[in-house]
Amino acid sequence: MATSRDNHYIPQLYLNSWGSEKKLYVHRLLVPHVQYPLWELRPIKYTAFIKNLYVRIEDNNEFDDFELNFNSRFETPAKEPLRKAICGERMSPEDWSILSDYILAQYLRTPSFYFQIQEWGIKNVGGILQSEVERAVELMEKRKLPKAPQKAEASLLPIRMELIKGERGSNQSELQATTVVGKNLWLHGIRSLLTPGMGVYELFHQMKWKIVTAAEEITWPTCDDPVAIVNVDTGRKCTINDGLSGKNRMIIFPISPTRAILGTQKRVFTQHFTADMEFSLRIKQVIINNAFMFLSFRIF
């Protein structure tokens, strides 16, 4: 079976809500030169994708299991609940559970979250490697391991361990642990955080979700990082490095030019409501500020 190489980090089905005739108006935040057009009409098929983004290599073999998993576990089941949400139809608890998975997967699968994970890894890799070495040494001393493992995995990091022998005539050896803060860390983090029982997974499933309709004459854009988590007290964007839990956190996920899904840890809105002009503009500003590489507005 051929490897899936055109990896979309924003599903085409999602972008269709802002498109027309399978095309989308895109405003890029980073452009190659000053004469680059402010707006570009692009086929949705060639928007928000990166070649081999989720393809991984293990033992010299290529795997696209992440792309397949996104399609089968999240995108396909969410098709009908997402349609209901966009149309403002009644949602069942099962619908919201499916959308909780979908929104979390969308939050994790973007290039923006890749850089969040890299920042997290740089700050925490030293302590994790040290704890893994200490655990391995303890097991070796108890003779539960005949020798140092060649590979071991910490909670979020793929780690390689090697026993480095001392100089000739020395009985001392050193256990060395190494890892790479890169793409594998991001993919491993995605897999871990999408596992039931993990803190972030449970956080999304405990959210009080509701559908908000924009005030009349207001339309919302979307972007390449459409799931925004903000501090409602300050309006500041929150990342995994800030901590995502807390009663002052709000998730904002636009699903069409006039509807969005909001998530809070306490019930502050009815499940379906229309925002006033001020709140509609605040949501619009959050979406724009959360953009990483591009914005897309529906051109009516």
3-state secondary structure 113-138: HHHHHHHHHHHHHHHHHHHHHHHHHH
| Confidence (pLDDT) at 154 | 41
| Confidence (pLDDT) at 300 | 65
Q: Where are the domains of the chain?
A: 6-109+207-296, 121-183
Distance CA 275, CA 17 (A): 20
| 10-residue stretch averages of pLDDT, the chain, 300 residues long | 83 95 91 87 94 84 86 96 95 96 97 91 78 74 54 52 67 71 85 90 93 96 96 85 80 97 82 92 96 88
Task: Give the torsion sign (CA, 52, 253, 29, 289).
Answer: negative
Helix (H) or strand (E) holding 191: helix 183-193
| Confidence (pLDDT) at 156 | 41
pTM of the model: 0.85
Burial class (CB in 10 A: 0-12, 13-18, 19+), 192: middle
| Confidence (pLDDT) at 168 | 63
| Confidence (pLDDT) at 23 | 93
Answer for the pair 8, 24: CB distance below 8 angstroms, yes or no.
no
| Confidence (pLDDT) at 148 | 47
